[in-house]
Amino acid sequence: MRQCSDHSPLRSGEVLIMRPTVSVIIPVYNSSKTLRACLEAVYAQRHPITEVIVVDDASTDDTRDIAREFPCRLLVADQNMGPAAARNRGIRASTGEMLFFLDSDCAPEPDALDNALAILRDQPDVACVHGIYALQPMFDDGPVEAYRLLHGHYWRLRNVGRVRTTLFAVCVTRRVAFTEVGLFDEKLRASEDVEFGDRLADRYATVLTDTVVCRHDDDSHLGKLLRKQFGRSQLLVPVALAERGPAGIRANGPAGLLTALLVPLSVPVVLLGPVFLPLPAFFFGLFAAADPGLLRFVLRQRGPAFAVFFYGVHLLVQLTIAAGAAVGGLRHLADRDFGPTRMAPVEPRR
């Protein structure tokens, strides 16, 4: 059986450096495909791990059996409450000074925790460090997953530095952040980390770094990807309206979303005559060129043939996000309780 590392001091010359205690918190739901690889990567971290807490959100597969193969603490929910509630339960049960959050479909590189803690040690005003997805997947499940990883890697890499947004797929946070700012909003089943980051920004800084890397098992079926994007994007407008400060990280820029809408809108114009036949292709090219950095990145990584596939899927994703955001905006107008809880702002640290 795998063993947790000890909490022990390091000596550097005459200076005694105490390694912080670290609790790993992994919310899981029907995660039998990926959990073993995730936990193996956790126990391979170079920095000592104090405890690993797996919070099962009422899985119906053999997720819990896999968790029991490891010396972790398993918490089981009676009903599915979502990742915010699962993370909150893990926080309350944990003891570490630092909390290492992982999604169950992420396998961090062995130096991920070490690198995050180095940033927290060197920058005392930073309370949260999160990382990026590797281009290589946890499991290679085909071209749709390759699209997801390329796009996910690119927009995170583009935003490396101090940010206002927190993303908890692979993230190390000081416990004091939750003590002072509060826990995740359990009303939210998506964007709960974005909402938390907006509250955190009133008091502490957040860093997105490319030195904290994980392999990710992303969506590999187009239909499932689009359904997930439609559901998640319904909270974009309510969360954005509740933000107290400047907008945080956005995976997709407004230019891309707007030019994506022009493609289907131009299709009926073709009926007016053959002269308009090139119009949808023209707007598709405009859509691909809306983010030149992304286009160059995709071409450099996978070449022109895959770029055509990439932008075909990307167009469908952008249209789905736009539709979900519109539906979510209308739901918020009809019901102001649809969205984040209106939490009182915290006083900035002095």
What CATH number is associated with residue 92?
A: 3.90.550.10
Specify if 138 maps to a domain.
yes
Specify if 149 maps to a domain.
yes
Specify if 319 maps to a domain.
no
For residue 93, the enclosing domain spans: 9-219
Per the CB < 8 A criterion, the answer to whether 108 and 73 are in contact is no
Reported as a single tens digit per residue, the pLDDT across 90-131 is 999 999 999 999 999 999 999 999 999 999 999 999 999 999
Amino acid at 42: V
Lowest mean pLDDT among 13-17, 217-221, 286-290: 13-17
- What is the residue-wise DSSP string for 250-291? -SS-HHHHHHHHHHHHHTGGGGG-GGGTTHHHHHHHHHHTTS
Specify if 48 maps to a domain.
yes
DSSP classification of residue 258: H
Q: What is the pLDDT of residue 346?
A: 52
* pLDDT category of residue 247 using cuts at 50, 70 and 90: low
Specify if 90 maps to a domain.
yes
Tell me which H or E stretch contains 200.
helix 192-200
Amino acid at 80: N
* pLDDT category of residue 248 using cuts at 50, 70 and 90: low
* Cα gap 43→63, rounded to integer Å: 18
Mean pLDDT, rounded, of the chain: 90
Amino acid at 219: D
Specify if 238 maps to a domain.
no
Name which residue leads in pLDDT, 249 or 275.
275
Amino acid at 253: G
Specify if 84 maps to a domain.
yes
* Cα gap 296→287, rounded to integer Å: 14
Reported as a single tens digit per residue, the pLDDT across 187-197 is 988 889 999 99
Reported as a single tens digit per residue, the pLDDT across 150-206 is 999 999 999 999 998 899 999 999 999 999 999 999 998 888 999 999 999 989 999
Q: What is the pLDDT of residue 327?
A: 95
Beta-ladder partners of 70: none
Reported as a single tens digit per residue, the pLDDT across 206-220 is 999 999 999 999 999
Amino acid at 207: V
Per the CB < 8 A criterion, the answer to whether 248 and 164 are in contact is yes
* pLDDT category of residue 12 using cuts at 50, 70 and 90: very low
* Domain count within the chain: 1
